[in-house]
Chain A
Amino acid sequence: MYLTLENVTKVFHSRGNVGEVVAVQNVNLEIQKGELVTLLGPSGCGKTTTLRMIAGFEFPSSGRIVLDEQEINSLPPHKRNMSMVFQSYALFPHLTVFENVAYGLNVQRLSKNVIAERVGRVLDLVHLRGYGDRAPGQLSGGQQQRVALARALVMEPKVLLMDEPLSNLDAKLREEMRAEIRRIQKELNITSVYVTHDQIEAMTLSDRIVVMNEGLIEQVGTPVEIYRFPNSRFVANFIGRANFIDGVILAQQNSNATIKSLGETITLSNVKHQFREGESATLIVRPEMIQIRKSGGLYRGTIRQAVYLGDMIEYTVDVGGVTILGTETDPHVTELFAEGENVTLEFAQDHIQVLPEGKSAE
């Protein structure tokens, strides 16, 4: 493992010892060389604190941070060989673009030629050739973002840290820069840790996603794992949308389980947990896993609300007193249901995730 966090905990003390806030609690994380890992979670979940501990701006209250087999717990930031892209870009306003990018190389007292060569190369990489003499204030938000990225990349860091780097850009530009960051990261094979609260950003960028909540890691996995097999209600809710439907396990054999829920008995083929017979469970059903048809489905329900969104239609359906959200994304379906209409529902049973009740409590 290249970068490892072992039982890392950070406690913040308010002045005068009055109170303490556990910002990060017992975080264990292993990151491989060349991997891009995203820390994802709502604000205040400890993701930025974790990143700042990796950077060296905060020091862990307990636990170890190991980089390349060397403990770096108490190493100050300027000795860590990392670089960081800040949410606010943090470009030096009194320096030109060139001087900004060259800053770290100047600290190392490299020769002028080497600096010019390396800065030129990295400015090429972020498509900013010819902007070297400008002041950061004269650039657009996207360009400033590229300068910040270039300034971090030019250091050829052991780890590249990014703290919500795209949150100040408008939607269109954000999409563009997302692809750009991923392209460069792959091209240079830089180990990266990326903090965001935007699930789409996390899904599109990451090799692996770390979902955090209230200082704890909820789940670590590839984007597909996280989406398909959320291991808690929080994860399922934070990434994508989900219906949480109560059920009772009737029988289980390996990953095949027979479950009674919404008054019907279904058999699921992809159950990860081992349940006892008769145990209560929660079914996680993504809206797009639900097929809504006039007839032929297993469940019967009544449309409560229908919202036409263009690329899909969103239905709120009442099934025996339980409200279920379903979406219709298939363009071949021309049928539109009106509010109050009776319909039938069918779940894509291979994709349903089942959690024991405790796991699903929020």
Chain B
Amino acid sequence: MCRPELYMWRSMKTTSALPKSSKFPDTGVQRRFQEFLLIFRDPVLFMSLLFSGIFIFVFILLPILRTVSGGFFSKEGGLDLTYFARYFDSIYGPVLRQAFVDTMVMGLLTAFFGTLIGFIFAYATVRCNPPAKNLLHWLALLPTVSPPFALALSVILLFGRSGLITKKVLGINFVSGMNDIYGLDGLVLVQTITFFSVAYLILRAMLERLSPALEEAAASLRASRFHIFRTVTLPLLIPGIAGSFLLLFVESLADLGNPLFIAGNRTVLSAQIFLAVIGEYDYQKASALSLVLIIPTLVLFMVQRYYVNRRSYISVTGKPSGAQITEKDPIIRWAFNITAYLICAFVILLYATIVYGSFSFTWGVDFTPTLRHWTMVLTRGVEAILDTTFLSVLATPFAAFLGMVIAWLVVRKNFSGKEILDFSSNLGGAIPGTILGIGFILVFNKPSLALAMIVYAILAIFFVLVVGRNARERLIILLLGTAIGFFLTRMESMQVHYLLGGLYFILALIHFLNGRNRAGVITALLLGVYVMSANWANAFAKPIADFSRSLERGFWSNAIFQFSDHIKVLLQPPPSLLAIFLLFAGILLVQRLQQPLARLLGGIVALIIPCTMSFMEMPFALIGGAYIIMAAFIVRSLPASVRAGVASLQQIDPSIEEASNILGGDAQYTFRKVTLPLILPALLAGLIFSFTRHMTSLSAIVFLISAKWRIVTASILSEWEQGGVSIAAAYSTLIIAFVLIAIAILNIVTIRLLRGREGVDLSQL
């Protein structure tokens, strides 16, 4: 028996008299500030946030804003509502209103039929166990990897006025007034086939994750099969169906390629905008029309994101729940299967037609096989092909990586403005590309000192906050760095590059003197050489260009000439963009310096360089160059890789990252060693999505191409306008082939790399 006296009465009730509901003395602003400080404590985390933020602001929000507001101002800058008023007058009004109505009808019908076919495919593959299920799956995805108007082209080849089926097989002779494939009906057909994959993927994911237990429970309550479908299955799928309907609607409105090809004498908004720019060079009109298009698009997009998604009972991010219910009734099963097969057959027919079209002499007249279109494509077109591939490849890792970083920030980190980051990163893919393209022209056509100043100011303040130890140090670095940097911009460009490179050598020296930090010295030296190499780019490129000119004009001559251009892209990025990168590199470099004086000097030097870069030459005058096209690519492909990243991150237990954290890894180490390897499948998927989007995008870059930088999709369009149907078909075949090859390579890499771990989930496409 223990004696109670032995146990001291140590326990204490340690609560104050504070009532539970009391307000604590931190207001919203204070809390935000604290949040900010928390993120700020980890510079790498803050850098990624800042970088994503700047990218999104400069390349997504600002262009959209400029487009939307552009319609209200005339060339002279005064308020001018002419183009909106036209919707209500009697001269332009009927046509404009008709186009608007046609656009909406097109969206509605495409969304309806696309969702319907998507559902049939999803139900067939998940529940009906069709023979050759995988083939069905991949064929359903084929439209997502082809250029936007490939199917329009093919439908015209088959059912057009001189179409293979309409003329050759059925022998129809089209006369004026007959209903041909051109017009809204043809457009909806083409768009339905183009976009049903989206609905298929959404509904398939939902069906797979629908717990069989629910339907089994209903069955055990003696509900009939139709009753179960009506009262359990369908209601649970409603969010998916609504979501895919809205997404398809948005995609349909945004589509430019198909309407340009097949709308005939009908016109829709995206095509109207395109013509306003390309035909009339009237940016005010284009902007006004853009606003009319962007309103329904945005509304639908937001309803989909914030209403439908929240209503969902099924979490689409989880794993499929294992066992699936299979359809037992043979009539229903085969009804679904056969419908899916028929649609597949149609898809195959369409794609086969494209390939066939590229090999036939004169479509509609003479179907003899020939290689003459391919010869054309491979000589005259090699420039566009190489440019497109080069820029797509170059932009791909950037897009995928940025996507992963944004996904990581959105899923794992807590900060004010997270919603905005999430939303706006998705925005670039959702809004019609034409709108983005116009915005790019409006923002980046002329050098913008204001934009350069805003971006530099944000970055410089961040720089000194991280690098400086106290207020005085920060002020010295900021003032000296900016002043000297600004002064240097007055020098001649070539000298500046040598000078800035030299500054990096000084930074390397500081690193060497301060603790012989080898990584720091080498990084600084390399950066110095890179900055200087802008001056040598021509020296590298010239011999190649000369060599190409010495060759006989043809494939090789053109191809090698392009190569000389590509070198320049790598070595001569626009200084205003390079500045952002160099500033972050500077932070990482200077952070390694321990000695106060070294830090101070290093800080000043590391700020001078990006400052000069920010303001030299013509800041942010990017139109005509390669980088603006890559930016457009990235903006368009970002949502897909963000989604892939988000889905993948949500499946990873956050405590795995916390484990790395408490074992001593900071945010950057953790991301590199733990998060990235774990989301590798998503990253690879992101690479595939991005490359595909880049290769096939048209609407966003059609205004951005220049004599120097040509893009295949735009070439297809111009060939088509000139009647080169077969050449267009050859280009399309080539793009599809390139994309498929890229997917195959990445798949092989994935299988090798992941060795048995879960493969790439393409369902986020």
- Chain A residues with CB under 8 Å of chain B are 7, 9, 11, 13, 15, 17, 20, 22, 25-29, 55-57, 59, 61-62, 74, 76-78, 80, 82-84, 86-88, 90-94, 103-104, 107-108, 151, 155, 161, 214, 216-222, 224-226, 228-229, 231-232, 270, 272, 350-351
Select which of B7, B24, B665 is within 8 A of A11 by beta carbon. Answer: B24
- Residues in B with CB closer than 8 Å to A107 are 663-665, 669
- Residues in A with CB closer than 8 Å to B666 are 76, 78
Contact between B660 and A103, CB atoms less than 8 A apart:
yes
- Residues in B with CB closer than 8 Å to A108 are 664
- Residues in A with CB closer than 8 Å to B24 are 9, 11, 20, 22, 61-62
Contact between B26 and A57, CB atoms less than 8 A apart:
no
- Residues in B with CB closer than 8 Å to A86 are 655, 658-659
Contact between B9 and A87, CB atoms less than 8 A apart:
no
B366: CB under 8 A from chain A? no
Contact between B7 and A225, CB atoms less than 8 A apart:
yes
* Binary CB contact string for chain B from 678 to 703 against chain A (1 if under 8 A, 0 otherwise): 10000000000000000000000000
Closest chain A residue, CB of each to CB of B25: A62
The 8 closest A-B pairs by CB, nearest first: A104-B663, A221-B11, A107-B664, A90-B659, A90-B655, A219-B11, A86-B655, A77-B661
- Residues in B with CB closer than 8 Å to A7 are 16
For the complex formed, measure the closest distance between the CB of B14 and the CB atoms of chain A, giving whole angstroms: 5
Select which of A25, A55, A61, A224 is within 8 A of B662 by beta carbon. Answer: A55
Give 21 pairs: A residue, B residue, CB < 8 Å, sorted on A.
A25-B15, A25-B20, A26-B15, A77-B661, A78-B664, A82-B662, A84-B659, A86-B655, A86-B659, A88-B653, A90-B655, A92-B660, A94-B678, A103-B665, A155-B663, A217-B13, A217-B14, A228-B4, A229-B9, A229-B11, A350-B4
Contact between A220 and B659, CB atoms less than 8 A apart:
no
Interface centre among A25, A57, A90 (most CB of B within 10 A): A90
- Residues in A with CB closer than 8 Å to B20 are 22, 25, 214
- Residues in B with CB closer than 8 Å to A151 are 659, 663
For the complex formed, measure the closest distance between the CB of A195 and the CB atoms of chain B, giving whole angstroms: 13
- Residues in A with CB closer than 8 Å to B419 are 15
- Residues in B with CB closer than 8 Å to A155 are 663-664
A-contacting residues, B38-60, CB 8 Å: 38, 41-42
Closest chain B residue, CB of each to CB of A75: B41
Contact between A270 and B662, CB atoms less than 8 A apart:
no
Query: Given known contacts A61-B24, A219-B11, A219-B12, what 10 new A-B pairs fall within 8 Å (CB)?
Result: A22-B20, A26-B16, A77-B661, A78-B663, A88-B653, A88-B655, A90-B656, A92-B660, A155-B664, A225-B9
Closest chain A residue, CB of each to CB of B656: A90
Q: How large is the interface on B (under 10, 10 to 19, 20 to 34, 35 or more residues)?
A: 35 or more
Supposing A88-B655, A90-B659, A107-B663 touch, asked if A220 and B12 sit within 8 A by C-beta, the answer is yes
Contact between A78 and B665, CB atoms less than 8 A apart:
yes
- Residues in B with CB closer than 8 Å to A92 are 656, 659-660, 674
- Residues in B with CB closer than 8 Å to A13 are 31
- Residues in A with CB closer than 8 Å to B655 are 86-88, 90
Interface centre among A56, A86, A350 (most CB of B within 10 A): A86
Bound: A231/B10 CA distance, A: 11
Bound: A9/B24 CA distance, A: 9
Bound: A220/B7 CA distance, A: 13
For the complex formed, measure the closest distance between the CB of B6 and the CB atoms of chain A, giving whole angstroms: 9
Which secondary structure dominates chain A's binding surface? Answer: mixed
B221: CB under 8 A from chain A? no
Contact between B18 and A25, CB atoms less than 8 A apart:
yes
* Binary CB contact string for chain B from 252 to 293 against chain A (1 if under 8 A, 0 otherwise): 000000000000000000000000000000000000000000
Contact between B31 and A76, CB atoms less than 8 A apart:
no
Bound: A146/B478 CA distance, A: 52
Contact between B4 and A221, CB atoms less than 8 A apart:
no
Bound: A103/B419 CA distance, A: 34
Contact between A224 and B7, CB atoms less than 8 A apart:
yes
Interface centre among B4, B8, B41, B674 (most CB of A within 10 A): B4
- Residues in B with CB closer than 8 Å to A272 are 9
Select which of B2, B9, B25 is within 8 A of A224 by beta carbon. Answer: B2
Supposing A104-B663, A270-B4 touch, asked if A90 and B653 sit within 8 A by C-beta, the answer is yes
For the complex formed, measure the closest distance between the CB of A89 and the CB atoms of chain B, giving whole angstroms: 8
- Residues in B with CB closer than 8 Å to A231 are 11, 13
Bound: A218/B666 CA distance, A: 36
Bound: A228/B11 CA distance, A: 12
Contact between B11 and A226, CB atoms less than 8 A apart:
yes
Closest chain A residue, CB of each to CB of B652: A93
Contact between A26 and B18, CB atoms less than 8 A apart:
yes
Contact between B14 and A83, CB atoms less than 8 A apart:
no
Bound: A168/B651 CA distance, A: 19
Contact between B41 and A76, CB atoms less than 8 A apart:
yes
- Residues in A with CB closer than 8 Å to B34 are 59
B296: CB under 8 A from chain A? no
* Binary CB contact string for chain B from 565 to 608 against chain A (1 if under 8 A, 0 otherwise): 00000000000000000000000000000000000000000000
A-contacting residues, B402-459, CB 8 Å: 419
